[in-house]
């Protein structure tokens, strides 16, 4: 089993390398690092920007600040955001040959599945916390999302 210092050293070397993905398996211990294709550093604050996705994949999600109490929707009371509950790749359809769960302009009820996020070969459903109309899709299908990153904007009461 690797200790935290060894993992941090590996992460630093991975960060400086040109590798996109790295996986290490020892007995029942598995460590996976992956870099996103486009450099979007602004998503996670107070962590090393280039290593943020990899840090999260080791399970150290407590290093990412959670800002749930501050609404970031320009003061609009009737707009809510559906946010990513975990780090992973977002897909808007259950599989490539199936239609999307919800598209812009669709009505959504609280509890409806709006997309799935794949993390470490596990597919997790993302459900709406509010009822309303999907007014904006904030990420690309198949893109990497951070924990608590807004995916959809929903206008309530429509």
| CATH number of residue 148's parent domain | 2.40.50.100
Q: Among the ranges 7-16, 71-80, 126-135, 149-158, which has the highest mean pLDDT value?
A: 126-135
pLDDT digits (tens, 9 = 90+) for 109-121: 999 999 999 988 8
Count of the separate structural domains present in the chain: 2
The number of residues in the chain equals 158
Q: Would you call 115 exposed, middle or buried from its count of C-beta atoms within 10 A (0-12, 13-18, 19+)?
A: buried
Which of 3-7, 42-46, 68-72, 147-151 comes out lowest in average pLDDT? 42-46
Task: Identify whether 87 is part of a domain.
Answer: yes
**pLDDT, tens only, 80-89:** 999 999 999 9
Does the pTM exceed 0.75?
A: no
């Amino acid at each position: 089993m690797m200790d935290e210092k060894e993992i941090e050293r590996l992460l630093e070397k991975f960060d400086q390398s040109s590798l996109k993905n790295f996986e290490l398996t020892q007995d029942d211990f598995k460590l996976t690092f992956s870099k996103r294709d486009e450099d979007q550093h602004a998503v996670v604050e107070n962590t090393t920007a280039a290593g943020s996705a990899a840090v999260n994949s080791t399970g150290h999600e407590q290093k990412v600040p959670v800002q749930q109490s501050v609404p970031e929707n320009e003061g609009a009371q009737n707009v809510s955001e559906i946010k990513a509950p975990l780090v992973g790749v977002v897909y808007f359809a259950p599989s490539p040959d199936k239609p999307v769960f919800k598209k812009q302009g669709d009505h959504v009820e609280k509890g409806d599945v709006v997309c799935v996020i794949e993390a470490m070969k596990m597919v997790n459903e993302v459900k709406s916390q509010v009822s309303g109309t999907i007014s904006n899709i904030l990420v690309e299908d198949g893109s990497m999302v951070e924990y608590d990153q807004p995916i959809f904007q929903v206008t309530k009461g429509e």
